């Protein structure tokens, strides 16, 4: 008898050696330089332990539902980006039969530093209504010039925005500034749906309890995304990071469609009367407005 779990090829512990070898190949070919303190083997062992605990939405073990290919890709992506799940730089999520490795904001900072070795630090701050806060746009990039905060300004209901600053070896500092509305818009896209359609943060959610921390994570992610997405295709780390993000996005959309599509049945009410009937008037009315707003009129 063939059990259900045999229908797809499942990942085995021995497959991890193949991944380690592949990473070593990248290193030997000069395509990849991992941080000196990063051991792909150790990261892989941590991931393996973590995968034993990872379950899908129906609480089935990830390693019993995910395809061998998806686990291989998730772990290879993790190792090439020098990520360690023990350091909470990434975590694993199951979408259908696919295992995905998702970077945390720690992980994104780490990868940004890998793809641009001139980066020495990345930090974020929340801006409150009573803060003195100024920034300039220099060569199309935001540069925070002043941020003075008093302790009494720090009140969760007075957040007006947040910024992340990337500090380079030569002392340059570039920032990414987001208004609170922009941050909430980003949260609306999140799978956790911490913000409703009207822009209210869900009471009791992590975003509600630790709003400033979450704002800082969001703006750091945005700043790092820019560094990662603008890195050269020659950088294998950047390429893997971008591919992983694209696959994750695709899996999220597929999941959303599976969850929401073709659900509630609707139909015409055939018992309708003519009370709501629209009238037609064959007489054209005089023009009251300009013909079209995309017509410049000259």
Partner 1 sequence: MILRVLGSSSHGNCYILERGEQALLIECGVSWKEIQQGLDFNLSRVGACLISHEHKDHSKSAREVMQAGINVYCSPGTAEALGISSHRLHTVPPLKQFTVGDFIVLPFPVEHDCAEPYGYLIYCRSTGEKLLFATDTYYIRHRFSGLNYIMVECNHCGDVLKAYVEEGTMAVPRKNRLLESHFSLEHCKEFLQVNVTTDTRKIILLHLSDDNSDAERMVREITDLTGIDTEVAEPGKVIELVLYPY
The answer to whether 165 and 155 are in contact (CB under 8 A) is: no
Q: Which one of the spans 66-74, 89-97, 169-177, 252-260 is the region binding partner 1 (CB under 8 A)?
A: 252-260
* Shortest distance, position 203 Cβ to partner 1, whole Å: 25
CA distance 74 to 92: 8
Pairing outcome for strands 119-128 and 132-138: unpaired
CA-CA distances (angstroms) from residue 65 to 27, 91, 95, 160? 32, 17, 10, 44
* Shortest distance, position 289 Cβ to partner 1, whole Å: 6
CA distance 169 to 118: 5
Spatial neighbors of 53 by CB under 8 A, at least 6 apart, are none
Among residues 29, 234, 261, 296, the one that binds partner 1 under rule CB under 8 A: 261
Q: Is 234 in the site for partner 1 (CB under 8 A)?
A: no
Among residues 49, 120, 192, 257, the one that binds partner 1 under rule CB under 8 A: 257
* Shortest distance, position 69 Cβ to partner 1, whole Å: 15
Number of residues interacting with partner 1: please give it, by CB under 8 A.
42
Q: Is 297 in the site for partner 1 (CB under 8 A)?
A: no
Q: Which is nearer to partner 1, 41 or 245 (CB)?
A: 245
Question: What x/- string results for residues 98 through 127 when contact with partner 1 is judged by CB under 8 A?
Answer: ------------------------------
Spatial neighbors of 22 by CB under 8 A, at least 6 apart, are 76
Which residues, numbered 133-172, are part of the site for partner 1 (CB under 8 A)? none
Please name every residue paired with 176 in a beta bridge, in sequence order, or none if there are none: 164
Which tokens hold the place of 167?
């500090």
For partner 1, the binding residues (CB under 8 A) are 229, 233, 242, 245-246, 249-250, 253, 256-257, 260-270, 272, 274, 276-294
């Amino acid at each position: 008898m063939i059990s259900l779990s045999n229908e797809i090829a499942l990942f085995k512990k021995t497959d991890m050696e193949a991944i380690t070898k592949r990473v070593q190949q990248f290193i030997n070919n000069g395509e990849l330089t991992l941080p000196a303190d990063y051991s792909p083997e150790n990261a892989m062992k941590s991931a393996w332990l973590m995968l034993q605990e990872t379950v899908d939405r129906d609480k089935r073990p990830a390693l019993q539902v995910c395809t061998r290919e998806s686990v291989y890709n998730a772990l290879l992506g993790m190792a090439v980006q020098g990520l360690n799940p023990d350091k909470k730089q990434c975590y694993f999520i199951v979408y259908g039969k696919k295992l995905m490795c998702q970077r945390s904001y720690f992980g994104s900072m780490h990868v940004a530093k890998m793809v641009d070795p001139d980066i020495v630090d990345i930090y974020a701050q929340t801006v409150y209504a009573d803060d003195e806060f100024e920034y300039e746009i220099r060569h199309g990039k935001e540069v925070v010039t002043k941020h003075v905060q008093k302790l009494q300004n720090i009140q969760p209901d007075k957040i007006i925005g947040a910024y992340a600053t990337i500090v380079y070896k030569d002392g340059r500092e570039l920032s990414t500034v987001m208004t609170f509305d922009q941050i909430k818009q980003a949260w609306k896209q999140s799978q956790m749906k911490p913000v409703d359609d009207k822009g209210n943060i869900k009471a009791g959610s992590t975003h509600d309890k630790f709003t400033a921390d979450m704002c800082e994570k969001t703006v750091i992610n945005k700043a790092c995304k820019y560094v990662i997405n603008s890195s050269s295709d020659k950088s294998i780390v950047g390429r893997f990071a971008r591919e992983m993000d694209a696959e994750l996005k695709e899996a999220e959309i597929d999941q959303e469609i599976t969850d929401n599509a073709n659900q509630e049945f609707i139909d015409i009410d055939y018992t309708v009367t003519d009370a709501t009937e629209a009238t037609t008037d064959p007489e054209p009315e005089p023009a009251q407005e300009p013909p079209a707003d995309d017509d410049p009129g000259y």
